[in-house]
Amino acid sequence: MGEGTAHSWTWWAEFFEKIGFYHQQYLDEENFASRLGGVDFLCLSGGDTFAIAQGLGQAGARALGEFFSGDKVYLGSCAGAYLPLHSSQEPLHRFNFLSIPVANIVPDPPPGLEFSPRTMIPYGNRYLVHPVRGEVVLRPRISYPEPTVVAPLFGGPPFDLGGDADGFRSRALYQDFTPRTSFPAGPELARRVVQGKEAVIEARIGPSTLFLLGPHLEHPRFPSANQFLFRLLQPFFNRLPETVPAGPGPEESSPALLREIKKELSRSRFTVQSLTQLSLSFEIGRKLYEPEKIAELLEFAWKRIRKFEPGSGLPVAAGETLRAQAVRLRESLEDFRTAVRGGEEAAGIMLKSLRAAKRFLAGFLPLYHRWGCLEEARS
């Protein structure tokens, strides 16, 4: 959930909640290298691959290399699928772990495709293009009860592996599109670049297993994609520790703290919802960011904070820290709204607010998994 990610890391958090796995950590640039050694499953979500690589830096690349030297599992979707691929581009060249070609790097800009972080960006002396957005139909290449799976594609790669190869296995192909698929430059380019290419790759680095997902199989609104992802990962789930939350410990708890945090979160939701009505977007790095991304993070927290039983509280020390984070988030969003209304440059404040929302959520979820969802976990 570091600088280059948007909001889709919460999709992985929800996926693991659904299968009853609550022992989750949330890493960013500050703790990635120091805490990665204790991780069994590393999930890297969507966002800006260049910003992710820049944020992790050389220390993060070394830590990831050490991670792959153990018997680990890497799950990369969208930007997370691009990161370990060979590249000559700064700063991606630090993460050259796998040589897998992708079909959406082309020598010339395709006619009709506009330059935009969502559709096409320069990539050295070539171009990285995204001619498909929205639903795609996948054909599983594993034993699976359904012939097709529908999943969303928001910029992830179509791999040009040409089937199974030494050290790589194709686990799903892009077979077709649906009426809800968007084609920024028409369906012909989409068929040429995406259709028939690999959508999901399983690879090995030493003893580690990597799953590279072009589409977001973890997206919570695509249950068939979630089921396919579960089938892919099922052989590895016996490595996971106890999944039932341990339950609250002997720490002193405070219902008042929980109420204050909920109040701050409610105020932040109101502020960001007013911003989503303005059709704002900010190009930061090589990615477009909108207030809707912050709104999704806050709704993710709101849905869970409402599950706390009446009269329940939070441990005082952790609750005080979370309350301070909630206040900073609310103040940052209010500054963001003031800047937008005053016609000021707001991209930097947008990024600050997004960072505050991610940090609040990363502080809230471990408390929710221990103190707020016990009844749900038992049912």
Bridge partners of 150?
137
| Whether pTM exceeds 0.75 | yes
Q: Give the chain's residues under pLDDT 50.
A: 377-379
What tokens were used for 30? 């500050």
Instruction: Determine the Cα–Cα distance for residues 208 and 265; give it in Å rounded to an integer.
Output: 39
Backbone angles phi, psi at 105, to 5 degrees: -105, 115
Return the SS3 of 67: helix
Position 280 scores a pLDDT of 86
Residues recorded for the chain: 379
Domain boundaries, the chain: 9-239, 253-378
3-state secondary structure of 156: coil
What tokens does 214 get?
């072009």
Determine the 3-state secondary structure of 74 from DSSP.
strand
Can you tell me the distance from the alpha carbon of 32 to that of 7, in angstroms, rounded to the nearest whole number? 18
Question: What is the Rg, in whole angstroms, of the alpha carbon atoms belonging to the chain?
Answer: 21
Closest residue by Cα to residue 178 from 150, 216, 215: 150
Report whether CATH 3.40.50.880 matches the domain 9-239: yes
Cβ 240 vs Cβ 306: under 8 Å: no
pLDDT of 249 reads 62
3-state secondary structure of 146: coil
45 CB contacts (<8 Å, ≥6 apart)?
A: 1, 5, 8, 9, 11, 12, 77, 78, 79, 80, 218
Strands 41-44 and 73-77: parallel
Q: CA-CA distance, 8 to 287, in Å (whole number)? A: 14
**How far, in Å, CA of 255 to CA of 305, rounded?**
12
| Rounded distance between C-alpha atoms, residue 127 and residue 26, angstroms | 32
Instruction: Give buried/exposed letters for 64-100 (b at 16+ CB in 10 A, else e).
Output: beebbeeebbbbbbbbbbbbbbebeeebbebbebbeb
CA distance 29 to 299: 24
Same CATH topology for 9-239 and 253-378: the answer is no
Residue 20 structure tokens: 């009853």
Architecture of domain 253-378: Up-down Bundle (1.20)
Residue 106: the pLDDT is 96
Continuous H helices in the chain: 9-18, 32-35, 49-68, 79-82, 187-193, 223-233, 255-276, 291-305, 316-341, 347-367, 374-378
47-59 b/e with 16+ CB inside 10 Å = b? bbbbbbbbbbeee
For residue 75, what is the enclosing H or E element? Answer: strand 73-77
Residue 113 is given by DSSP the state P
Per-residue tokens: 219: 């997206």
3-state secondary structure of 76: strand
pLDDT at residue 260, rounded to an integer: 97
Q: Which pLDDT score, from 0 to 100, does residue 379 have?
A: 47
